[in-house]
Structure 1
């Protein structure tokens, strides 16, 4: 019984570590990801309830971006 409990705890810790915020992007990695998506002049990066927001330029126009917890980049209207 004790072995099973230890095994379950180990599995839960392994799963938690995959979803842990410790795997969040650094600011430099976030900027690189946004630039790789075609944006430039990335600035004003902030953590918010909806994700990480940033200001950037795309096709000569200013945009506000939201990067969610799964790493998806979306333009905010």
Structure 2
């Protein structure tokens, strides 16, 4: 049963140009927000194998002692023959700790 004050719309009938523009803008804004959320939020956390591969691709070897911390994932690795401590943050950035 149809409510009396709801118009039946067929292919844009009974919608003036202003309403059509506003609906299009709202839909466009929603699409943009959803796209931004997808870009800014990682789809998934890196697996341990992906994490090691990323660190090795950055020139580190012997990745070990992998631990989760509030700053990100902390690891030990070797670069240029020296042991270094790294943190890989939620965006995938690798940072050496002093």
The TM-score by the shorter chain falls in which range? Answer: 0.7 to 0.9
Which has the bigger relative contact order, CA under 8 A and spacing at least 6? Answer: 1
How much has 1:48 moved relative to structure 2? Answer: 2.2
| Length-normalised TM-score, structure 1 | 0.76
Alignment partner, residue 76 of structure 1: 97
Distance 1:49 1:22 in 2: 19
1:51 pairs with 2:72? yes
Matches within 5 A, 1:1-77: 1-77=22-98
Q: Is the contact between residue 64 and residue 76 of structure 2 (CA under 8 Å) also seen in structure 1? A: yes
Higher radius of gyration, 1 or 2: 2
Unmatched tracts of structure 1, length 5 or more: none
How much has 1:23 moved relative to structure 2? Answer: 4.9
Higher fraction of strand: 1
Unmatched tracts of structure 2, length 5 or more: 1-21
- Which runs of at least 4 in structure 1 moved beyond 4 Å after TM superposition? none
Q: Is the contact between residue 87 and residue 97 of structure 2 (CA under 8 Å) also seen in structure 1? A: yes
How much has 1:49 moved relative to structure 2? Answer: 2.2
Q: CA RMSD in A?
A: 2.0
Q: Number of aligned residue pairs: give it.
A: 77
